[in-house]
Structure 1
Amino acid sequence: MDVEERSAVVVGAGIGGLAAALALRRAGWTVVVHERSPGREKTGAALTLWPNAVRALHALGLADGLRARASALDGSGVRRPDGRWLSRTSGEQVIARHGLPQVAIVRADLIDLLASALPSGCVRWGAAVTDVDPGGPDRRAGVRCGDRLAEADLVVAADGVHSRVRRTLWPDHPPAERRGYVAWRALVHASTGPASETWGRGERFGIVPVGENLVYVYATANTAALEPSVDELRSRFGNWHAPIPALLDAITPGDLMRHDIMALHPPLRRLFHGRVTLLGDAAHAMEPNLGQGAGLAVEDAVVLAYAVTGASSVAAGLAAYDRARAVRVARLARQSRLLGRLTQSPSAAVTTLRDATTRLIPDRFALRGFDAAAGWHPPVPVLQEPR
């Protein structure tokens, strides 16, 4: 398809929105991103990227930048609150199976990496989208920001779990629901060993080294909304194995974040309406138990650009994008939902059976359990630089 004069509007300048803008630009589209916040996102702690996400970022031409900003994990595993390991996987095993490492990166650094690859003026900050027109086969779509209407051949809604665009164009679909547990997240200045996640009864604590003397910590618990209190974390996890108590002491209270875990369920039957399509959490917000939220959003961006650029029309391209993504994300959402039920179960019997089963599974087989997520490859190795 001739894309010389094809234009796109992206709603949202988070990871998915910026990735979509970059992917479409590299495929030859003119792109403008509308973001309601006044400036580049600096919030958030860190995240892990499995090899599928690393491949997607490589397809966007960001291999060198990712290598400079991210840290490859030497290994990871699951532990009990007393410190005993239930399962361990080395970084070498991940590379041997998937060809690339699992990496950790500060969220703001990934946002900066994506935004810096876009030309000046591509992102319009402080531009809140108040309405959307899906357009049609012979009519362009558009978004309204105040009294200004921006029209385009394609609108990509990457406006998050509480997507305004999704609520507008899919009004009958249930909104994202609370899953009954919360997460705390923080970055602390400390040194630690390999990445790990410790499973208790309805509680978890994660440790991820993000670089030299920087550690990403997160915790979950079955509870109602709570303030992001370090004292609350100490009361829950202060007697768990080292180095958890020391990491809790290293948290700066003002840097601790707390979020309700949300998920979109049931999945949308279709990810596009007219010339508008959903991407990332706006399309398929899921529980974070597989560490795939950011990775799937970047995957979406690569697949979308490939689909709409190679199709005979925008409609045909969006249908191809929907076919390519719907089954995959629905499958991973179910897997993450099931893992959430197991890890957040308050039942002593379920916890005992869960831990015993995890210990009995050989580590090489445990790694294979992530094949469905980590084994994804982009439809095109590298999207070309825009001319």
Structure 2
Amino acid sequence: MAKSQHVGGAGERSALVVGGGIGGLAAGLALARSGWRVKVLERAAAFGEVGAGLSLWPNGVRALDALGVGDQVREQALVETRAGIRNRSGRWLSRTDTQELADRFGPVVMIHRARLFDILRTALPAGVLCGDSAVTRADLRGGRVEVEHGRGVSRADLLVAADGIGSTVRHSLWPQAPAPRYAGYTTWRVVVDTGERLSAGGESWGRGERVGIAPLADGRTYLFCVANAPEGQRSPGGELAELRRRFGRWHDPIPRLLAAADEEAVMRHDIHALPPLASFVNGRAALLGDAAHAMTPNLGQGANQALEDAVTLAVLLEAHPDVESALSAYDRLRRPRTRLIARRSHRIGVVAQWHWAPATALRDLTLRMMPGPAVLDALTAILGWRPPDREDLIAHTG
């Protein structure tokens, strides 16, 4: 018989966070800092992250500041790195003034996902993380939430579903929600150690194919490659051989990076996105991160939006007199913003993955003619985000 567990004692606000990824850890940390008794339930027996790079944009770094770990993350920032978009031969189509971007919005941090994961995990209070706790069912009962998982049944005042694009909680409590949809392209990711520190990053666009390069602070390089492909396809000769076949004649340093890569380090995933939901909230349950708004990675905002979600949710729970009104405000704030960003990311992916030669020629010409400041202006609505002001919200709701 499953063991029943209660999170929190009499008069103490309690929360269950489902999912031990970056969004789940951020939510757990944000709630714990606000005085909640929190348990983070993760299906895996051990907590960890895959070996890939992650872009933290200024909005995400501000969220991490609100969580008290911004300085640790900011140490990973890269300065004076050239970035932008090139074609497959290496010609710059669009350059990003990284110094102006930093002056206007703050630094962009390129960090290994495992490093960010460790920073968040270390900041959590002892006893918050519960591994080997795969969630099989979630219910709303008598003004509380109930979750059945690998270790038994837990109940709490609040449920935060941060369990990814295939969220079990979303399936349980949002049964009418649309299923994720394939974006039409697949991606390979790998971290490479060539023994040299690259001075330029950014993306290179071809016809139905792309390559992204991001130097990491530890001297390694994060490489991702994208190609139009049928869903579920895999390479019979190995994924690294496929990368070398597709991209081995692109501009330097792409061939050198692929030559230095290890087959075991290459990860391949088809790209899916979640269609817009009617609500991120159901009673005392809230969706967060990819469980709420999984988007294509073309703006590099997936993790950043999860961090924004976590900080916003905790602030609203402090500012509002009850959980339901706080979650209603969370839905009003987060759903329009993430929908806007998801739409932009989708459009960029469509254009970047064009294959027809006349269309790609027009695209490349348009990029060359676009003034640099216009690119930064277009990012203002995304990168200019700041955490909600708790005192203002309390005054407004009071």
- Which structure 1 residue ranges, 4+ long, deviate > 6 Å from structure 2? none
Single out whichever of 71-80 and 270-279 deviates more from structure 2: 71-80
Whether 2:240 is the aligned partner of 1:233: answer no
2:295 counterpart of 1:263: no
Trace 1:280-359 onto structure 2 (pairs within 5 A): 280-359=289-368
1:198 aligns with 2:204: yes
Q: How does 1:145-224 map to 2 (within 5 A)?
A: 145-146=149-150, 148-190=152-194, 191-224=197-230
SS for the counterpart of 2:88 is coil
Kept in 1: contact 2:139–2:172 (CA 8 A): no
Shift, 1:353, TM fit: 1.1
CA distance in 1, matches of 2:13, 2:388: 21
Q: Would the aligned equivalents of 2:315 and 2:390 in 1 still touch at CA under 8 Å?
A: no
For residue 118 of structure 2, what is the aligned residue in structure 1?
112
Matched, 1:144 2:148: yes
1:208 CA drift (Å)? 0.2
Q: Which amino acid aligns with 2:274?
A: L
Checking the alignment, whether the CA contact within 8 Å between 1:73 and 1:101 is kept in structure 2 is: no
Q: Aligned pair count?
A: 376
Match of 1:15 in 2: 22
- CA distance change for structure 1 residues 56 and 166 in 2, over 3 Å: closer, same or farther? same
In 2, the alpha carbon distance for the partners of 1:301 and 1:238 equals 40
Report whether the alignment pairs 1:66 with 2:80.
no
State the Cα RMSD in Å.
1.6
**Percent of aligned pairs sharing the same letter:** 48
Alpha-carbon distance, 1:196 to partner:
1.4
CA contact (8 A) 1:79 1:85 kept: yes
Alignment of 1:243-258 (within 5 A): 243-258=253-268
Residue 126 in structure 1 maps to residue 132 in structure 2: yes
**Mapped contact 1:73–1:104 kept (Cα < 8 A):** no
Query: C-alpha displacement at 1:91, in angstroms?
Result: 2.1
- Secondary structure (helix, strand or coil) at the match of 1:330 reads helix
Structure 2 spans left out of the alignment, 5+ residues: 1-9, 392-398
| Change beyond 3 A, Cα 1:37–1:101 | same
> Contact 1:155–1:275 (CA<8 Å) still a contact in 2?
yes
Q: Tell me how far apart the structure 2 counterparts of residues 177 and 212 of structure 1 sit (CA, whole Å).
A: 35
What TM-score comes out, normalization by structure 2 length?
Answer: 0.91
Query: Any conservation in 2 of the 1:55–1:377 contact (CA below 8 Å)?
Result: yes
How many angstroms apart in 2 are the aligned matches of 1:83 and 1:34? 45
Aligned to 1:385: none
Gaps of 5+ in 1: 383-387
Q: What TM-score does the superposition give when structure 1 sets the normalisation length?
A: 0.94
User: Could you tell me how far 1:167 is from its partner in structure 2?
Assistant: 1.1
